[in-house]
Amino acid sequence: MEAFSVVVLVLAVLLGLMFAFFTVLNLFADLPSNPFGSFGVRFIYEMDEVMGGLLGVPHYSKVEAVLLAVGCAGAWIAVFTDGLLVPCLGFICGAAYMLICGFYGYFAGTGAAPFLVFAAINGICLGGKVTEILELAADSDEPRFGSSGSARGDLQIVEIFGAAMACCVVLSAGVMKARNTDERAKFNQRFVRIAAWCDANSGFVWLPGKGAPEGFDDKTLIE
């Protein structure tokens, strides 16, 4: 069990770093003083126009920032404190976010596998923390950092929040499937071509407000 706790700790650090970076990216990459350059413009375009378009959510990058911030908070609280409730909520949020991204990757054609890997990592961390809550509830039931007051109360909150986020994942998948019309599919395919073109041209320039990087030809075919 000690070894598993170390694994959870290491994975929590990994998730904390990743979630922190993408939270900042979602919040600030569309500002006039965008510090992320063309990479940030491309990212926001994908989140707001492609993924947000599939979900029917304007400015989806800001919704994503909230989900990632919760995941980030949970991960770092798991690293630096003995808290269990907030880490569980954070890992649930992180797993749900990654699953939603997985459905997006499937419907948009950008690929789901990387997101499912990170959903599994969140699941591993969640499993470790839920196990600790169960052990605490069966033993002393003493409150930890950020606790609702008892381990049993924390467990109930985790169960309710987990069910709510599972519903969000299923709802998001259903919405994306319903909105993935022929017209939307063509739009998604165009972005897949753009993404491949950007990957092949690492110095690409994508100006804010534009629908593609400079020099991209809509007739470009990617094998």
CA distance 164 to 151: 20
Cβ-count burial of 24 within 10 angstroms (0-12 exposed, 13-18 middle, 19+ buried)?
A: middle
140, part of any domain? yes
Question: Is residue 91 in a domain?
Answer: yes
Query: How many distinct helices (H) and strands (E) make up the chain?
Result: 8, 0
Question: What is the tally of structural domains in the chain?
Answer: 1
Question: Is-contact 137 151, C-beta < 8 A?
Answer: yes
Q: The domain containing residue 90 runs over which residues?
A: 2-200
153 part of a folded domain: yes
Q: How far apart are CA 184 and CA 187, in angstroms?
A: 5
Residue 27 lies in a domain: yes
Helices within 56-112 (DSSP H only)? 60-80, 85-108
Residue pLDDT, tens place only, 34-93: 899 999 999 999 999 999 999 999 999 999 999 999 999 999 999 999 999 999 999 999
pLDDT in tens, 114-155: 999 999 999 999 999 999 999 888 887 777 888 888 888 999
In a domain, 158, yes or no: yes
